[in-house]
Amino acid sequence: MKVAVMGAGAIGAYVGARLAQAGADVALIARGPHLEAIRKTGLSVASPLGEVSGLGLAATDNPSDIGVVDLVIFSVKLWDTETAATAMQPLIGPHTRVVTLQNGIDSVAAISNHVAAQRVIGGTIYLFAVIDRPGVIRNSGGVHKMIFGTGDGNSLLRQLAGALDEAPGIDAMQCDNIRRTIWQKYIRLVPLSAATALTRRPIGDVRGNAVTRNFLQSLVAELVAIAGAEGHDFGDDQISEGMAFYDGLPEGFKSSMLEDVERGNRLELPWLSSRVCALGRQHGIATPANWAASCGLQLLADGSPV
């Protein structure tokens, strides 16, 4: 199976490395110093789930260098979705499938503007990974679950599931209702990102303080209400389950948005807390906690060192 990772940052490069370990023919589309380091010394993964050192993979910033593949893992940052979906056209052949692992809830629809909708497979991943330095992905262990849809039953997705079964450091499964699964992650991701990035503190500090814990729970409650209005009624149990999820994270865990704040990177805020506020206005649901997060992070959204 020939695989291209469109957006080989922390998540994409990690998945690509694990698929390569399982025997897939993997090529990475990356850019900047990260790309140069992969070309020069290979891709490395530092993880308690299995180390990878100097893995030699084809790497480029031009999809035309790779050509048609069986499968595209689409993992670019949300603001690059339209540009990347256009740029990946040389990867798409008659039978290619695109599995998206982006954050947010709009990925499949956005990519389907550029690739036939039946080829685009929704997916989500629970994985804590960052680019430690160019060419090196750091994964702290913990949850490492990837879920993707069944699509039209194409055999490529069964091959992907089989490869992931062989891959170390990833637990993977297919899901008949991937849209609901994506929303379930969204309910957990948005509050975690907002609360840690806004306070500039890891989850242990946020959940350990009565005031910030209440703020975190309010963020979750608003997401659950919005999900219900969007047709995904999870019930109030999702609030307690969300808080239990946060309580199970390592004390010093930082969301990727907090990591981006600390590094002065651009934030996915418009697709997370700000998107929740827009949906709240659409459905007539108040979202004061998410509004506070959206406003509080607005000046950092385009990237600014703190």
List per-residue pLDDT tens for the chain, 306 residues long. 999 999 999 999 999 999 999 999 999 999 999 999 999 999 999 999 889 999 999 999 999 999 999 999 999 999 999 999 999 999 999 999 999 999 999 999 999 999 999 999 999 999 988 899 999 999 887 788 999 998 776 788 888 989 988 888 899 999 999 999 999 999 999 999 999 999 999 999 999 999 999 999 999 999 999 999 999 999 889 999 999 999 999 899 999 999 999 999 999 999 999 999 999 999 999 999 999 999 999 999 999 765
What residues does each domain of the chain span?
2-176, 180-300
The answer to whether 172 and 145 have CB atoms below 8 angstroms apart is: yes
> Among all chains, which residue has been given the structure tokens 């506020």?
277
Contact present, 73 and 4 (Cβ < 8 Å):
yes
d(CA 264, CA 35): 20
Residue with tokens 């849209």: 179
Residue from 163, 237, 246, 171 nearest 206 by CA: 246
CA–chain centroid gap for 9, Å, is 10
What CATH number has the domain spanning 180-300?
1.10.1040.10
Alpha-carbon distances of 1 from 66, 102, 127, 158, 255, rounded to whole Å: 14, 22, 23, 11, 32
Nearest to 151 by CA among 120, 181, 125, 173: 120
Element (H, E) at 166: helix 155-166
Alpha-carbon distance of 136 to 108, in angstroms, equals 29
Strands (E), the chain: 2-6, 25-29, 43-46, 52-55, 58-60, 71-74, 97-100, 120-133, 136-149, 171-175
Q: What is the DSSP letter of 115?
A: S
- 2-176 topology per CATH: Rossmann fold (3.40.50)
Packing angle, helices 237-247 and 178-199, rounded to 10 = 50
Number of Cβ within a 10 Å radius of residue 281: 11
Task: Find the radius of gyration of the CA atoms of the chain.
Answer: 19
